[in-house]
Amino acid sequence: RKGTVIITGASSGLGLATAKSLAETGKWHIIMACRDFLKAEKAAKSVGMSKENYTIMHLDLSSLDSVRQFVDNFKRSNRPLDVLVCNAAVYQPTAREPSFTADGFELSVGTNHLGHFLLSRLLLDDMKQSDYPSKRLIIVGSITGNTNTLAGNVPPKANLGDVRGLQGGLNGLNTSSMIDGGDFDGAKAYKDSKVCNMLTMQEFHRRYHEDTGITFASLYPGCIATTGLFREHIPLFRLLFPTFQKYVTKGFVSEEEAGKRLAQVVSDPSLTKSGVYWSWNKDSASFENQLSQEASDADKARKVWEISEKLVGLS
């Protein structure tokens, strides 16, 4: 049978390129989990995906109700779940004030981390039940969360501190909107959310890999300087960034190439190792990358996991 893969944020950028790449193999049915139905439909058409290879299902990760509703809808579809890709993200580098999810969490961490945390926890049982030979849960990471790399050292750096802000619920009222309890910084909030993504992947691996056989993985697909992620950046930045990445840092990858990389993590028979953060070298060959000290801190991973469970109502 065909594999079933859910991809969040498949309406643009990396998610769309991955959906296209998997659809072309004819071996996958893609559930495009998107907040804007029409945009997703147009996107699927624009890259030539044929109807029998995808279904669009509504998901707004900035609302825990919507996440629960999505999970119910998916269960009702009676499809098995073989692979889940947590890809969607918001990035607000120029925001001066925080904005908030429906549940009152700062938007970047609330969407990128907490929304996906609830989604993957609620779908884990479906993955356990699937008889697919290589089940995988993939959470897209980022180099910006790795302070052990040059790009990860561009300020403001990711830093979760003692997670006092997360503990307080990131609501910006009685506590800070930032995980470390500091002043709001949109670029840092995004990087912090990516560190949470990478910590969550490893905590999943520690808690569930042995019992379930599910492969848990994260990746840095390269710098895809052309995606919508940078839509809120200042125009001059958007104009110069792709060129800068191409010629100066040489980290630039096209959306198509990045999509092929994520599609490998979904389906390549050689990428089944669990607990790995994949990256690609200059020749587009995959390798197991090192995470920064904070992004591989097992105590912090457990702490973030336990606090996140409380915030999304799982404990």
Residue ranges binding ligand NDP (CB under 6 A):
8-9, 11-15, 34-36, 39, 59-62, 87-90, 111, 140, 142, 194, 220-221, 223-225, 227-229
Name the residue number minimizing CB distance to ligand NDP.
Answer: 13
Please, which residue, 11 or 120, has the CB nearer to ligand NDP?
A: 11
Q: Nearest distance from residue 58's CB to ligand NDP, in Å?
A: 9
Q: Nearest distance from residue 107's CB to ligand NDP, in Å?
A: 8
Pick the catalytic residue: 54, 91, 132, 190?
Answer: 190
Tokens standing for residue 81 = 């779940």
- Phi/psi of residue 7, each to 5°? -120, 120
Q: Nearest distance from residue 11's CB to ligand NDP, in Å?
A: 4
Q: Nearest distance from residue 172's CB to ligand NDP, in Å?
A: 18
Say how far apart CA 4 and CA 155 lie, in whole Å: 39
Asked whether the beta carbons of 126 and 74 are under 8 A apart, the reply is yes
Say how far apart CA 186 and CA 205 lie, in whole Å: 29
Say how far apart CA 46 and CA 48 lie, in whole Å: 5
Name the one residue in this structure whose structure tokens are 């619920």: 169
* Residues 73-78: contacts with CB under 8 Å, at least 24 apart: 74/6, 74/31, 74/123, 74/126, 75/126
Please, which residue, 61 or 195, has the CB nearer to ligand NDP?
A: 61
- Phi/psi of residue 215, each to 5°? -85, 125
Please, which residue, 102 or 298, has the CB nearer to ligand NDP?
A: 102
Please, which residue, 181 or 261, has the CB nearer to ligand NDP?
A: 261
Q: Would you call 247 a catalytic residue per the annotation?
A: no
- Catalytically active residues are 190
